[in-house]
């Protein structure tokens, strides 16, 4: 395998609440991730980025579309096959407080995946390897016997990462792994993720709403809006020459920690809000807020089309 | 200083928990002038929110102001027989607050209109008609589309951004002189955050409002404030005009914070991180709270607490080895 | 140095922090030292909660006398002594110390009957707790975790059972297999498992949504492991409180069934039976009804006091509130 392909037009993704009412959480999303790279998946709340991440990990069944991992279709995998797949795909959670079982100590937590996959027979057997993992994640050996509540947010996130890399997965979905952390701790965890990638050659899908962090860590970036990818390109291309008006507005609305620059920047302040995913508009989903909107945008949905070798965008105007 | 609206002087707040006494705020002093926007920046646990609560007399149980003073136009809001009554009168009238979470700050069972009119009717004694007029005016002021329709809606029918607008409208209803905004955009998406920040800037200009903006986001402060106070471990680390502090941060913490923030406008191969974690405020270090994580740490930093000292006009820093502007 | 060093949060390893308390209840703390520290702290707290302390004392006394009944009781509870029949309690006119709480119509010592009677109450209470609790929790966890058809089937069963009058079952069973302690246990278990099932299902449903359960599934844990290792321990705290309250209900129910004659055998010793047999003489020998009645009430009251203490202990927020209040008061006192 040299090409990790994930391709899924997920349609009418989830059935929620009242009968027949369908949330179009994610619709017709396709992208691929190459081995060893980091794809940043960015968007605001309600854009469907988390749903996409969970669908790839087969936590949510897509209504339509396929997910291919190492060239194999895993969309229908279940039971034993799915559990086997977990050795290769892991998740790093957003909330370092909720994602660790408060009743298990660090050794048990990190050793659990190793035991359920039969790599070690007991926690004690796994101890040495767990300590190695902890050290790799910047935690000392005496953390192993303590419980999660004794740790700060940054340390807990390190424990979560140690647990995720124990099985030596090739692919990790990092779902907002640093958004719950303070700025000074955030940099530590971002650096750790990068170091692990260098050492172990892990492929990341890095989901985040913070475009500054995404720019820092990603090789390529996909921008989602209301359940669709509106633009996907190489990192520098998308940040320096964004095509889609939403990407442009999103980038301009992120404050820069430099007072002069911030005062002089041209800010595109969008009016309005993300459309209701219960009844998505028939045309471009961004049409109601778009400064460049044309008549066609309201009628027909633009699809993602290549603009250069590494740059796709979904827009009629540009 | 005639135009000093608010003065916080040697404020100390402690929380009495089972783990021990949490020294949440230790000896914090700063002031806010008329027409000024001051940013109070810090990470979680730095004491920034507790400071704002202390100003409004809203320190939550089991916390309490154990020393220091808060003065509004020279009048104490902590000490003296009338302090408790004064603070109640001033809160919502002359000083008002906008909170972080627009979801829980509004009562879900009353309409936007009834919650907006209640403020003016209670504080200013408006009649029902007057209050309604004022409420519609306010909704217009915060750029709410279709105020008449919004007036009848319930909070649940509005999005996060619109609810935050309603809360700002509520805060402005008695024409306050000072607005304390505690993480007003943290729960919002960036495009909505941009809307709200622009609104705050407009309002400040139009109404001659002073603003105390509490946030963890350096970018938010950069675009909106005149002065910034950086807090760490319950104490002020650095105070100064926004341009100076961002250009030449003198406290190692402010410096580290700025360097470790990933930037949208530039790419670095590796983020500069500050090793370690903030101090435990149950047993805060005797010396500088940042000493354990500081690269320039000396013996003196560990044994002796640096006080906030003026290094040039308008710039104060609490550090034994500040970076000099040159 | 690229990775952050371990000096993050050096001072964070306190043993008494909030979430640690649940572990005390669940009894799964790994370290003996911290466990004894926690136990000690719990005792100190119990001492400060006077109502809970009294409750615990009364119940302990009850259990001890029940266990050592033959040694504690002054008389054989079945021994008739017609000469001393209908003796009043010691503090009434004509009472004396040989029968501290008086005697019944056949001259049997009321105190001894009560002491032996508590054996039945406690045995029935514990047996029913064990059977109903086990069945209810297993079915509830299954319903909550599996969902779908399993959930619907089990919950319909619960609804049906709840709708069926318990007394009817008691009468039917008593008629079929005759009244006995065993019958009472069976009847009350059939009638009592639903509440555990409902509670367990509710807890499971909410815990199922937490990140750490999702984490366990993503790691590749099999459903059984997720259910018992990650979800089940969360039941310990609410289950303890519920079980204590249920115990009170069962003591009352056993007494009521025995009173009605569909409970234990007429020759057995039971508080309910004592009330039933004493009621004919209620006007001239009031103690025959009042003594067992008071004992039943005291037991139930003590159980409730203990339950409300447990609720506070199991809820970190409640504990924090109580603690903070006393500390602020002390601070204000010290500083004028």
Q: CA B228 to CA B221: how far, in whole Å?
A: 8
Q: Which tens digits make up the pLDDT trace of C65-116?
A: 999 988 888 888 888 888 888 888 888 877 778 888 888 888 888 889 899 9
Q: Which two tokens stand for residue C239?
A: 């289950």
CATH number of the domain to which C192 belongs = 1.10.3720.10
Contact: C320, B62; criterion CB under 8 Å = yes
| Dihedral of alpha carbons C209, C215, C220, C226, sign | negative
Residue B277: the pLDDT is 82
Residue A45: the pLDDT is 81
For B159, B240, B315, the CA distances from B324, given in Å and listed in that order, are 46, 14, 12
Contact: C325, B62; criterion CB under 8 Å = yes
| Dihedral of alpha carbons B300, B302, B307, B313, sign | positive
For A78, A83, A163, B22, C269, the CA distances from C215, given in Å and listed in that order, are 17, 13, 10, 33, 54
Rg (CA), chain C: 25
**Average pLDDT of the segment spanning C272-300:** 86
Residues of the domain holding A307: 235-318
**Average pLDDT of the segment spanning A218-237:** 90
Q: Which tens digits make up the pLDDT trace of A63-119?
A: 777 888 887 888 888 888 888 888 899 999 988 888 998 888 899 999 999 999 989
Domain boundary among A187, A218, A249: A218
C9 assigned to some structural domain? no
* Residue C58's pLDDT band (cuts 50, 70, 90): very high
Chains touching B (at least 3 CB pairs under 8 A) are A, C
Beta bridge partners of B91: B95
Q: Scanning the structure block, which residue is given the tokens 């509130």?
A: C321
Contact: A150, C217; criterion CB under 8 Å = no
* Residue C197's pLDDT band (cuts 50, 70, 90): very high
More confident residue, A167 or A261: A167
C123 assigned to some structural domain? yes
Contact: A184, B272; criterion CB under 8 Å = no
Scanning C269-328 for CB atoms below 8 A from B yields 319-321, 323-325, 327-328
Number of domains observed in the structure of chain A: 2
Nearest to A187 among B216, B218, B271 (CB): B271
Q: Which of C11, C31, C218, C237 to mutate to test the interface with A (most CBs of A within 10 A)?
A: C218
Contact: C324, B15; criterion CB under 8 Å = yes
**Percent of chain B at pLDDT exceeding 90:** 24
Find, in chain A, the residue whose alpha carbon is nearest to that of C19: A149
Residue A22: the pLDDT is 56
Based on the fold, state whether residues A105 and A197 are members of the same structural domain: yes
Q: What residues have CB less than 8 Å from C188, skipping those under 6 apart?
A: C124, C128, C132, C250, C253, C254, C257
Q: Nearest-CA distance from A252 to chain C in Å?
A: 32
Exposure class string for A264-291: b at 16+ Cβ within 10 A, else e: ebeebbbeebbbebeebbebbbbbbbbe
Residues of the domain holding C185: 76-316
Q: Which of C2, C312, C324 to mutate to test the interface with B (most CBs of B within 10 A)?
A: C324
A242 assigned to some structural domain? yes
Contact: A112, C5; criterion CB under 8 Å = no
Is the pLDDT confidence value at A2 over 80?
A: no
Is the pLDDT confidence value at C29 over 70?
A: no
* Residue C316's pLDDT band (cuts 50, 70, 90): low
CATH number of the domain to which A57 belongs = 3.40.50.300
| Contact residues, chain B, for C18 at CB < 8 Å | 18
Contact: C12, B280; criterion CB under 8 Å = yes
Residue A55: the pLDDT is 84
Find, in chain C, the residue whose alpha carbon is nearest to that of B276: C8
CB C111 within 8 A of CB C269: no
Q: Which tens digits make up the pLDDT trace of A234-269?
A: 998 999 899 999 999 988 888 888 888 887 877 778
Based on the fold, state whether residues A83 and A207 are members of the same structural domain: yes
**Average pLDDT of the segment spanning C152-170:** 89
Residue A243: the pLDDT is 92
CA B7, chain centre distance (Å): 14
ipTM of predicted assembly, 2 dp: 0.82
Based on the fold, state whether residues A192 and A257 are members of the same structural domain: no
Torsions phi, psi for B288 (to 5 deg): -65, 130
Find, in chain B, the residue whose alpha carbon is nearest to that of C2: B273
Beta bridge partners of A222: A41, A232
| Contact residues, chain B, for A215 at CB < 8 Å | 262-264, 267
Is the pLDDT confidence value at C199 over 80?
A: yes
Least reliable range by pLDDT among B262-271, B303-312, C20-29 = C20-29
CB C323 within 8 A of CB B63: no
C19 assigned to some structural domain? no
Domain boundary among A218, A243, A267: A218
Contact: A152, C218; criterion CB under 8 Å = no
Based on the fold, state whether residues A291 and A209 are members of the same structural domain: no
Cβ–Cβ contact C16 with B under 8 A: yes
Q: CA C126 to CA B38: how far, in whole Å?
A: 65
Find, in chain B, the residue whose alpha carbon is nearest to that of A274: B159
What's the pTM?
Answer: 0.80
Based on the fold, state whether residues A247 and A192 are members of the same structural domain: no
Q: Which of B99-113, C130-144, C172-186 has the highest mean pLDDT?
A: C130-144
Least reliable range by pLDDT among A120-134, A199-213, B180-194 = B180-194
Q: Which two tokens stand for residue B220?
A: 């938010």
| Contact residues, chain A, for C217 at CB < 8 Å | 59
Residue B264: the pLDDT is 79
For A26, A201, A251, B185, C232, the CA distances from B159, given in Å and listed in that order, are 20, 41, 22, 13, 37
Residue B6: the pLDDT is 92
The secondary structure of C113-166 as a DSSP string is HHHHHHHHHHHHHHHHHHHHHHHHHHHHHHHHHH-HHHHHHHHHHHHHHHHS-H
**Average pLDDT of the segment spanning C116-124:** 89
C24 assigned to some structural domain? no
Domain boundary among A218, A244, A278: A218
| Contact residues, chain C, for B277 at CB < 8 Å | 7-9
Is the pLDDT confidence value at A212 over 80?
A: yes
C241 assigned to some structural domain? yes
Based on the fold, state whether residues A154 and A267 are members of the same structural domain: no
Based on the fold, state whether residues A55 and A120 are members of the same structural domain: yes
Residue B18: the pLDDT is 74
**Average pLDDT of the segment spanning C55-71:** 90
Find, in chain C, the residue whose alpha carbon is nearest to that of A57: C218
Q: Nearest-CA distance from A42 to chain B in Å?
A: 12
Residue B207: the pLDDT is 87
Q: Which tens digits make up the pLDDT trace of A22-68?
A: 566 777 788 888 888 999 999 888 788 888 888 888 887 777 778 88
Contact: B194, A259; criterion CB under 8 Å = no
Q: Nearest-CA distance from C283 to chain A in Å?
A: 58
Q: Which of A270-279, B190-199, C5-14, C148-157 has the highest mean pLDDT?
A: C148-157
Nearest to A256 among B197, B265, B274 (CB): B265
Beta bridge partners of C109: C103
Nearest to B190 among A44, A256, A273 (CB): A44
3-state secondary structure of C252: helix
Contact: A145, C30; criterion CB under 8 Å = yes
Q: Which residues of B make CB contacts under 8 Å with C?
A: 14-19, 21, 61-62, 64, 66, 273, 275-277, 279-280, 282-283, 292
Q: CA C319 to CA C321: how far, in whole Å?
A: 5
| Contact residues, chain A, for B43 at CB < 8 Å | 182-185
Task: Report chain A's mean pLDDT, rounded to a whole number.
Answer: 84
Q: Which of A79, A97, A102 to mutate to test the interface with C (most CBs of C within 10 A)?
A: A102
The 8 Å CB, 24+ separation contacts for A113-121 are: A113/A86, A113/A163, A113/A166, A113/A167, A113/C219, A113/C220, A114/A166, A114/A167, A116/C219, A116/C220, A116/C221, A116/C222, A116/C225, A117/A83, A117/A86, A117/A87, A117/A167, A117/C220, A119/A167
CB B77 within 8 A of CB B71: yes
> CB-side exposure of B157: number of CA atoms within 13 Å?
10
**Percent of chain A at pLDDT exceeding 70:** 91
Q: What residues have CB less than 8 Å from A130, skipping those under 6 apart?
A: A107, A110, A111, A114, A144, A162, A166
Is the pLDDT confidence value at C8 over 60?
A: no
Based on the fold, state whether residues A180 and A308 are members of the same structural domain: no
| Contact residues, chain C, for B62 at CB < 8 Å | 320-321, 323-325, 327-328
CB C120 within 8 A of CB C264: yes
Least reliable range by pLDDT among A20-29, A197-206, C14-23, C39-48 = C14-23
Find, in chain A, the residue whose alpha carbon is nearest to that of B220: A255
Least reliable range by pLDDT among A103-112, B100-109, C273-282 = B100-109
Number of domains observed in the structure of chain C: 1
| List of E strands, chain B | 4-17, 20-33, 37-41, 63-72, 75-76, 95-98, 178-182, 210-215, 227-232, 235-241, 309-312, 315-317
A225 assigned to some structural domain? no
Q: Nearest-CA distance from A45 to chain B in Å?
A: 7
**Average pLDDT of the segment spanning B201-228:** 89
Beta bridge partners of B241: B227
Q: Which of B18, B49, B223, B278 to mutate to test the interface with A (most CBs of A within 10 A)?
A: B223
C332 assigned to some structural domain? no
C134 assigned to some structural domain? yes
Q: Nearest-CA distance from C226 to chain A in Å?
A: 11
More confident residue, A5 or B314: B314
Based on the fold, state whether residues A87 and A204 are members of the same structural domain: yes
Cβ–Cβ contact C8 with B under 8 A: yes
Based on the fold, state whether residues A210 and A266 are members of the same structural domain: no
Find, in chain C, the residue whose alpha carbon is nearest to that of B273: C4
Cβ–Cβ contact C11 with B under 8 A: yes
Residue A305: the pLDDT is 87
Residue B31: the pLDDT is 92
The secondary structure of A175-216 as a DSSP string is ESTTTTS-HHHHHHHHHHHHHHHHHH--EEEEEES-HHHHHH
Contact: A152, B277; criterion CB under 8 Å = yes
Q: CA B297 to CA B294: how far, in whole Å?
A: 5
Is the pLDDT confidence value at B1 over 60?
A: no
């Amino acid at each position: 395998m040299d090409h990790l392909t994930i391709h899924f037009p997920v349609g009418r993704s989830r059935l929620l609440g009242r009968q027949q009412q369908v949330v179009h959480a994610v619709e017709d999303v396709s992208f691929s991730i190459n081995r060893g790279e980091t794809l940043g998946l960015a968007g605001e709340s309600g854009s469907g980025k988390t749903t996409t991440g969970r669908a790839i990990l087969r936590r949510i069944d897509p209504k339509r579309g396929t997910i291919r991992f190492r060239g194999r279709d895993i969309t229908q995998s279940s039971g034993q096959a799915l559990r086997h797949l977990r050795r290769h795909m892991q998740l790093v959670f957003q909330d370092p407080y909720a994602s660790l079982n408060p009743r298990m100590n660090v050794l048990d937590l990190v050793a659990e995946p190793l035991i359920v996959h039969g790599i070690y027979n007991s926690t004690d057997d796994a101890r040495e390897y767990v300590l190695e993992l902890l050290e790799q994640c910047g935690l000392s050996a005496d953390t192993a016997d303590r419980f999660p509540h004794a740790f700060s947010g940054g340390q807990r996130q390190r424990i979560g990462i140690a647990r995720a890399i124990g099985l030596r997965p090739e692919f990790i979905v990092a779902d907002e792994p640093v958004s719950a952390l303070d700025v000074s701790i955030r940099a530590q965890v971002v650096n750790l993720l990068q170091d692990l990638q260098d050492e172990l050659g892990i492929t990341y899908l890095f989901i985040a709403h913070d475009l500054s962090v995404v720019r820092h860590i990603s090789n390529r970036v996909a921008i989602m809006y209301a359940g669709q990818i509106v633009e996907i390109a190489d990192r520098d291309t998308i940040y320096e020459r964004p095509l889609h008006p939403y990407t442009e507005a999103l980038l301009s609305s992120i404050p820069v920690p430099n007072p002069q620059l911030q005062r002089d920047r041209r800010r595109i302040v969008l009016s309005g809000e993300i459309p209701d995913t219960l009844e998505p508009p028939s045309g471009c989903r961004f049409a109601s807020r778009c400064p460049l909107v044309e008549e066609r945008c309201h009628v027909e949905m633009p699809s993602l089309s290549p603009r250069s070798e590494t740059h796709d965008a979904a827009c009629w105007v540009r | 200083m005639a135009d000093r609206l608010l003065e916080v002087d040697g404020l100390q707040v402690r929380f009495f928990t089972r783990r021990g006494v949490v020294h949440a705020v230790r000896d914090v002093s700063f002031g806010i002038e008329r027409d000024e926007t001051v940013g109070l920046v810090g990470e979680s646990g730095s004491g920034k929110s507790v400071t704002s609560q202390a100003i409004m007399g809203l320190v939550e149980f089991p916390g309490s102001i154990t020393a220091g003073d808060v003065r509004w136009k020279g009048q104490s809001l902590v000490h003296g027989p009338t302090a408790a009554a004064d603070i109640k009168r001033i809160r919502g009238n002359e000083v008002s607050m906008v909170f972080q979470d627009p979801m829980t700050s509004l009562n879900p069972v009353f309409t936007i209109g009834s919650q907006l009119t209640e403020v003016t009717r209670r504080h200013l004694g408006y009649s029902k008609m007057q209050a309604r007029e004022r409420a519609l005016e306010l909704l217009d002021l915060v750029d709410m589309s279709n105020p008449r329709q919004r007036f009848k809606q319930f909070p649940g029918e509005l999005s996060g951004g619109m609810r935050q607008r309603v809360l700002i409208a509520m805060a402005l209803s008695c024409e306050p002189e000072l607005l304390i905004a505690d993480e007003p955009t943290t729960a919002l998406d960036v495009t909505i955050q941009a809307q709200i920040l622009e609104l705050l800037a407009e309002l400040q200009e139009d109404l001659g409002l002073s603003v105390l903006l509490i946030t963890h986001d350096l970018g938010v402060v950069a675009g909106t404030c005149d002065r910034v106070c950086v807090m760490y471990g319950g104490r002020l680390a650095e105070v100064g005009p926004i341009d100076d502090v961002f250009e030449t941060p003198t406290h190692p913490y402010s410096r580290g914070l700025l360097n470790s923030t990933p930037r949208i406008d530039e790419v670095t191969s590796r983020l500069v991180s500050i090793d370690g974690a903030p101090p435990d405020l149950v047993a805060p270090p005797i010396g500088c709270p940042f000493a354990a994580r500081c690269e320039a740490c000396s013996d003196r930093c560990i044994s002796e607490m640096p006080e906030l000292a003026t290094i040039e006009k308008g710039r104060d820093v609490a550090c034994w080895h500040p970076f000099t502007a040159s | 140095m690229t990775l952050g060093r371990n000096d993050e949060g050096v001072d964070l390893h306190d043993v008494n922090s909030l979430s640690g308390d649940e572990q005390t209840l669940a009894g799964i703390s790994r370290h003996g030292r911290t466990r004894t520290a926690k136990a000690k702290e719990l005792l100190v707290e119990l001492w400060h909660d006077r109502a809970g302390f009294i409750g615990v004392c009364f119940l302990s006394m009850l259990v001890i006398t029940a266990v050592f009944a033959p040694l504690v009781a002054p008389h054989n509870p079945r021994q008739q002594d017609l000469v001393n029949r209908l003796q009043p309690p010691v503090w009434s006119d004509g009472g004396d110390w040989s029968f501290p709480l008086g005697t019944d119509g056949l001259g049997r010592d009321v105190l001894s009957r009560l002491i032996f009677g508590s054996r039945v109450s406690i045995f029935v209470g514990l047996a029913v707790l064990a059977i109903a609790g086990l069945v209810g929790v297993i079915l509830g966890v299954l319903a909550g975790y599996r969902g779908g058809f399993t959930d619907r089937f089990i919950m319909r069963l619960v609804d049906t059972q709840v709708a069926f009058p318990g007394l009817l079952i008691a009468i039917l069973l008593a008629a079929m297999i005759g009244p006995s302690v065993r019958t009472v246990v069976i009847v009350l278990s059939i009638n009592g498992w639903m509440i555990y099932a409902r509670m367990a299902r509710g807890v499971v449903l909410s815990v199922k949504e937490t990140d750490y359960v999702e984490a366990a599934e993503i790691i590749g844990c099999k459903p059984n492991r997720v259910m018992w290792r990650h979800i089940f321990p969360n039941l310990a705290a609410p289950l303890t409180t519920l079980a204590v309250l249920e115990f009170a209900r069962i003591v009352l129910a056993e007494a009521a069934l025995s009173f009605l004659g569909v409970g234990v055998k007429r020759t057995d010793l039971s508080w309910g039976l004592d009330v039933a047999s004493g009621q004919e003489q209620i006007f001239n020998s009031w103690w025959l009804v009042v003594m067992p009645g008071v004992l039943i009430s005291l037991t139930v009251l003590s159980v409730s006091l203990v339950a409300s203490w447990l609720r506070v202990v199991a809820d970190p927020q409640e504990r924090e509130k109580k603690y903070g209040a006393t500390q602020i008061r002390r601070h204000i006192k010290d500083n004028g």
